[in-house]
């Protein structure tokens, strides 16, 4: 099964947000439809963390903010040894960490072009 990163489009004004909010940030509407955010995004900023929470196995952990266009941004793990502002990334589903015996999965971002 292929997972895809989903945004939420306000049925009243059309604004797309991620993650979902109780009310639209533009018009305060309360009805949304799910929409795919796309297969590519751009890295806006990132930081590397060396003091990691339990369950993160490989320091450093690189966290970044990515932009999907239209004002839709997401925060997540960046899977790159050499991240660069402006680089093209793609969302991928995978293991984020392990808490006790439970593995936690979600989206992270890897270079759109491997090379």
Q: Could you read off the pLDDT of 25-40 as tens digits, one per residue?
A: 999 999 999 999 999 9
Q: Which CATH architecture has domain 38-115?
A: Beta Barrel (2.40)
Peptide bond into 19 cis (omega under 30): yes
* Structural domain boundaries in the chain: 1-37, 38-115
Strands 32-36 and 16-17: unpaired
Which residue ranges of the chain lie beneath pLDDT 70? 1-2, 114-115
pLDDT recorded at residue 23: 97
Tell me how far CA of residue 33 lies from CA of 7, 13, 45, 110, 115, in angstroms: 8, 12, 29, 27, 36
Q: Fill in the DSSP letter of residue 78.
A: B
Q: Which residues contact 110 (CB under 8 A, 6 or more apart)?
A: 78, 79, 80, 89, 90, 92
pLDDT of residue 100: 81
pLDDT the model gives residue 1: 40
């Amino acid at each position: 099964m292929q997972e895809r990163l989903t945004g939420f489009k306000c049925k009243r004004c059309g604004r797309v947000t991620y993650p979902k909010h109780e009310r639209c940030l533009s018009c305060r509407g309360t009805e949304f439809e799910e929409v795919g955010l796309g297969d590519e995004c751009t890295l806006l900023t990132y930081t590397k963390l060396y003091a990691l929470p339990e369950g993160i196995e490989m320091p450093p952990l690189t966290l970044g903010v990515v932009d999907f266009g239209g004002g839709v941004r997401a925060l997540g793990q960046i899977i790159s040894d050499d991240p660069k502002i402006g680089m093209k990334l793609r969302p991928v589903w995978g293991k984020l960490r392990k808490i006790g015996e439970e593995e936690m999965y979600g989206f992270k971002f890897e270079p759109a072009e491997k090379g």
